[in-house]
């Protein structure tokens, strides 16, 4: 990324195959480099006789996952609001008081909306809007297993 803000972030896809007919046609692995994709395949192999040399890795750009870049509104959110977005992305909903500070800031920014349903007065389930879903996905790391490649 080299200090600039790109419109998208790319999670690179690699086709990793053990060069033995007994292991099938291979699989798509998401990793920042061919070496890391090869290592992931090596770790997933169930045989001690597999070597790095027996694993072929080929770049598959058509299988890349495109993640949105973090926009200015999302970047300005505090850590609690970002945590709420992440929780809601994973669980499809967030339940809290309707006057919660983090929720109010997200609703005001147009990233979440109340469903109007709750167990008690003054409480509600909140869900992501389309803009909120994009914002939450933009906060996800490109490669969760490789923190050094966070953008």
Q: What is the SS3 string spanning 88-121? A: HHHHCCEEEECCCHHHHHHHHCCCEEECCCCCCC
Distance CA 68, CA 137 (A): 7
Choosing from 39, 67, 95, the residue where a domain stops is 67
Q: Which residue has the tokens 């147009």?
A: 110
8 Å CB contact between 140 and 90: no
The model's confidence at residue 109, banded by pLDDT at 50, 70 and 90, is: very high
Average pLDDT over every residue of 14-37: 91
Two structure tokens written together for 3: 């200090």
The model's confidence at residue 2, banded by pLDDT at 50, 70 and 90, is: very low
Domain span at 129: 72-138
Tell whether 88 and 114 lie within a shared domain.
yes
Average pLDDT over every residue of 69-82: 90
Tell whether 54 and 76 lie within a shared domain.
no
The model's confidence at residue 6, banded by pLDDT at 50, 70 and 90, is: low
Residue 39 resides in a domain = yes
Distance CA 106, CA 103 (A): 5
Residue 88 resides in a domain = yes
Check whether 40 has a pLDDT greater than 70: yes
Residue percentage of the chain with pLDDT more than 90: 66
Other CB atoms within 10 Å distance of the CB of residue 57:
22
H or E element: which one contains 15? strand 13-18
The model's confidence at residue 59, banded by pLDDT at 50, 70 and 90, is: very high
Domain count along the chain: 2
Q: Which residue has the tokens 């300005």?
A: 76
Check whether 76 has a pLDDT greater than 50: yes
Spell out the residues 6+ positions from residue 138 whose beta carbon is closer than 8 angstroms to its own.
67, 68, 69, 70, 71, 74
The model's confidence at residue 115, banded by pLDDT at 50, 70 and 90, is: very high
Tell whether 128 and 92 lie within a shared domain.
yes
Tell whether 58 and 81 lie within a shared domain.
no
């Amino acid at each position: 990324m080299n200090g600039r803000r790109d419109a998208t972030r790319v999670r690179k896809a690699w086709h990793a195959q053990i060069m033995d007919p007994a292991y099938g046609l291979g699989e798509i692995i998401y990793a920042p480099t061919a070496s890391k994709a090869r290592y992931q395949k090596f770790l997933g192999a169930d045989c001690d006789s597999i070597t790095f040399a027996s694993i072929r890795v080929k770049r598959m750009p058509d299988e890349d996952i495109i993640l949105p870049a973090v926009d200015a509104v999302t970047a300005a959110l505090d850590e609690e609001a970002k945590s709420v977005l992440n929780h809601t992305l994973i669980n499809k909903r967030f339940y809290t008081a309707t006057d919660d500070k983090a929720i109010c800031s997200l609703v005001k920014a147009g990233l979440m909306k109340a469903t109007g349903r709750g167990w008690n007065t003054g409480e509600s389930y909140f869900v992501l809007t389309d803009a909120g879903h994009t914002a939450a996905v933009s906060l996800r790391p490109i490669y969760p297993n490789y923190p050094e490649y966070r953008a």
